[in-house]
Amino acid sequence: MKGIFYCVKCHKVATIRHKCNPLSYVSITRNMRFIVDTMNDLGLELMSAVSYVENIDRSFSHKLELELEFRYEYNEAILQAMPDGWNWYKFSVKDGKVWLSGLRYIEEYVWTGAETVTDRLNHIIKEFENYLGTRDTQATKSILMLMGS
């Protein structure tokens, strides 16, 4: 899926003529828009949110990967009890001087004829959207303030 820039302020794709502050742009694949919007409502700022599907050796196996990169380093307590397969990780930018937080989901999905790879990917996204929908916005923002992140 082709990556695009999405403006979380205007809730639309940011083209070259878009005039918002680039800090409100998130590099996404289209299927991640709702996740980006919900994260933003919770006060969590993303830099990118993308999904990848990679066929393994022309077999029925596919590697499904979803990756969310935040603009800050967050305390992992901010999102707890995520759906199975989702994990926090840290990555560095600026030659290792700055560490940021990310969330990642990786699965090797074997197609057996029932659910297509796209259906499976949509299912994982939907499950995570539902999870984010259960988060309390005010509580999450309070935790962010307390932690000073």
Residues found near Zn ion in the complex (CB under 5 A): 7, 9-10, 20
Question: Cβ of residue 3: shortest distance to Zn ion, in angstroms?
Answer: 17
Residue with tokens 């694949």: 29
Question: Cβ of residue 9: shortest distance to Zn ion, in angstroms?
Answer: 4
**What is the three-class DSSP state of 140?**
helix
Question: Cβ of residue 121: shortest distance to Zn ion, in angstroms?
Answer: 27
Query: Parallel, antiparallel, or unpaired: how do β-strands 46-55 and 25-29 relate?
Result: parallel
Query: Parallel, antiparallel, or unpaired: how do β-strands 25-29 and 3-7 relate?
Result: antiparallel
Please, which residue, 71 or 104, has the CB nearer to Zn ion?
Answer: 71
Of 114, 42, 117, the closest CA to residue 72 belongs to 42
Please, which residue, 11 or 90, has the CB nearer to Zn ion?
Answer: 11
Please, which residue, 9 or 123, has the CB nearer to Zn ion?
Answer: 9
